[in-house]
Structure 1
């Protein structure tokens, strides 16, 4: 791997990263993305409304209850697809102007630190559910991540309590990377206790979920959680007797002391050994279940191959019509390190993907690895 000096910057106090401004203050929205919306006129066509929802999607992380704010736009797109006519009514105008006013001073998102206490607030309305992840900063709560979801037809008929539960489910999926697995610390402690031949074991933990599952009061419905529970119970069978007690996080002084010890240099009279675990205790399987399915059909023809052969070897297909098409379209492509890229007018070179790579990329995007998006309604047409 080689670095391009022209694209490298060092010692910066702030800068753009993945479309965001990152600094000591926190994570901020890109001003160019905000400017695109603030300078936008009222849409007059369906395509312009879809362009508006696309711009909002890029800033969705910074907009609380984004789905609720955009619900008039979704309604317009849905009606326009049936009537073949766009009606930009007063409700759309009010929502659009309110969105512009909000974006004049968008919130600065805080950065979550390891082992930091975070809170999730959830809300539900008739047509959407939303949540926000916050942290305490000098006595006040600062937002870390906003999540919103537009309810589909059947979901709008959920009772209010079920909508709140649904909001929590969506938040747990989108914010999964912010929370460490609660079983890993328990399993590490159990392995150490067994190695030291401990017979009577007292376990203190600040996770009520883990404590209740070990005591049999809660069931582990999730497959991953169930696997962790089985592994923990198998280790506990090697101990003569054990008890577990749920305590408040503030009272869990032993865990705090160990975490600080592992991340700092402390002078002690006795040797202290710290083990760093870089892989989970259980086999999580493939990152995406759909990969099992597309691996079976990996023999599909690669659309990139004719372009690569023409650019690198000046070789064209035998079919005259296909050869003419390849030679004409190849002007828009280039090859760097045996990889095909498409040229753009203003954007950087775009990496061309095969069927397997594109499938994996789509799965990653729709599972939320790049953040939330507006769902299917903004793609109605």
Structure 2
């Protein structure tokens, strides 16, 4: 616009100035079109949007476009006398984005409060006439201030309804555009693929007003598939008529009132997922209908997975609503208790983590209001039968351990499957009891009250029904646990079935323990490292003098929620990232997916082991905290406890670094790839140790920060050469080795060795030893760690050096954010602390999955190394700037 100053907004074009201008052949227009062109061009000249140019080398003919009001408009504002544009045309790339930024800047104080703007569409909204007049004065004042110009023919004031973004905004709410509805109602039956695509596109634009659209037009969608021989048939005609009936009486979508919860109803079929978003208070409002057809792979999902997928899809589609309101999911499916289980398998665990950020609440479906919502849920009957839940269990054993499989069948043919892998040796009867107890717990988790259990074990069935006496002491513990769970059901029966009638559970139990290979996947997958009765025997005892732990309140709230009690909003948010595995509390984290929650006594043990233990390292507070999180542990006062623990460490206080180096300009050295550049140095002499060793030859990789060190009695060129050859055999041929000017490093024989292998040798100058600063920094860390570990027993440094190196390699480095071990092997090492306090990856370990994950980690290790490389370079530049600023 001519009135907008370039300092306010401007659009720059990157033009290739040597390009040859395009000169089209001049086209003549008829008298009517020529008159329309003259009128439009004169309007643009009067408004100052264009100006005349002479002696141009280009020509673009005018193209007239018929508008909705039967008037002609120019799609190119040029006349045959060649006019040059001084305004921003919408034909340019990113022109709309530039114009939107202008609108956002001009009306930044009005947008969201009393005004909505989308490019050149502006809507001013008010609750009363007095407010409308005041707000109009404010908006028009901004228009005058920035010199904008409005088209009076397109401006409307003081109306109760209007169009905005192809919707009708009225005092009742948001309605579909009548013109779009009319286009569908008057549309004849499609005869070609293009017409079918046009029809589906028009219906999709109105999908928020049509409940279960994907399901209703399923016959029409089939026609869009490739190689479909059938054309428009009776099913398509019935579907088209059904949609037209809905458009004749379309629902009105309301704007939700802040501070009141939103409710979601889910509807799932074999080929589509649907959802309805409503608000019941302070008055009933339909907010949004969401519908989508299932992909070919999604059609094979279990029904429970489809329900979870529908919830995930609507959360992604309506994310602003989920973030701004408390959302309550109204469904009779036990999706809440399933999603809260930490041992979900495959995609379900990812969906659970993604949905956990919204703090969703779950309630039974109950009664529904409104005609359209009633039609939405009418096809989802959920009849409670006497034995609505059936449980099929089976266990099997092998030399490596065993497995169990649970198939839980509920109303509406809902199936929940769980597989269990035993990491302990068990008898066949133990495996059957493990399957039975796990199945009963799963049934209670999903809310089953009446349960009919089927097993192919006559022993277990005889024990539970009293036909057989339990003589084995170990099976007696299983029997008492099963009987204890039986009391939690209103009605419970167990029946023996032949193995041939329990084929699915039998086959899936064999898949769990590895006897067979197949494609049957379970929703829940669990790994037991010890018998379930052992777990309960260890974790069930209580003591009257037990200290109060921070975990107790969270565990209590989780159990109350599992029992069906309604929690406060604050309580729901408090436990949203926690879950129970057996009797242990876990927290969903960002560093590791599941972190075990520790009491204060357990936390103290972990800190001691990571700081003083076998692979411990006397690091700073942030590094110690990072190691705790990477190991998979959490407690609320983690950061404070790490700092407090270091302040009480006498070794850290005695031998911590004191910096005396003067400020000077710093230059960083960057390694382009792992193990391409090594820094080497000699540390010593140390007190005489084992085999009269008193020197330490150290090498550090500039990228991964991996450190190798070898104690030596004497330093010679032959030993340096042998040490370098070992590095080459383990990590490959390096490009550069940086050393100081020691005679062992500049020997002619070693230089000849470098030349044969194509290795570049760089030596630091006497005036600037910081060239080999990476090796110097590693030396300082090793010496300080030895001091803190040995104290006065300095002669044992040879035996202690491996522990120091292990601790260094397993600790995250400040410049990369990753440990050298992770950058080298693509995963974190298992630390001894995980033996004393088992973590998730030890308790739920699966060698098959572990091997696959290790291989996949190696496939993406280059991508993982790219991010630490960027962090490393940024860290070096930050240090260089700070050092230079002090110079």
TM-score computed with the length of structure 1 as normaliser:
0.50
- Higher relative CO (CA 8 A, sep ≥ 6), structure 1 or 2? 1
Which has the greater radius of gyration?
2
TM-score computed with the length of structure 2 as normaliser:
0.22
